Amino acid sequence: MSQNRKEKILVAMSGGVDSAVSAMLLERDGHAVEGVYVRTWEHEDDLLGECPGAKDLRDAEEVCNQLKIPFRVVNYSNFYRREVVQPMVDGYADGITPNPDILCNKQMKFGILMNYAKEEGFDALATGHYCIQKLNESNRVELWEGRDKNKDQSYFLARLSIEQLKFARFPVGSFQKSKIRKLAQSANLPVAEKKDSQGICFLGKVKVPDFLSHYIKENPGDIVNQSGDKVGEHLGLHRYTLGQRKGIGVPSNTDNQNYVVTGKDESTNQLIVAFDQPHESTLWAKRFGLIEITFIDPRFNHLENIELLGKARYRDPSTPIRLTIQSRQSGMVEFDSPQRALTPGQILAFYEGEQLVGSAIYSLSKFGRAALST
Active site residues: 104, 201
**How far, in Å, CA of 155 to CA of 186, rounded?**
30
**How far, in Å, CA of 304 to CA of 295, rounded?**
13
CA neighbor of 113 nearest in space, from 22, 34, 184, 177:
34
**What type of residue is 70?**
P
Q: Which residues fall within 8 angstroms of residue 280, CB to CB, at 6 or more apart?
A: 260, 262, 274
Instruction: Classify strands 284-295 and 355-362 as parallel, antiparallel or unpaired.
Output: antiparallel
**What type of residue is 79?**
F
In this structure, what is the dihedral angle of CA atoms 201, 202, 203, 208, given to the nearest 10 degrees?
-70
Cβ proximity of 230 and 224 under 8 Å: yes
Q: Which residues fall within 8 angstroms of residue 311, CB to CB, at 6 or more apart?
A: 155, 317, 318, 319, 348, 349, 351
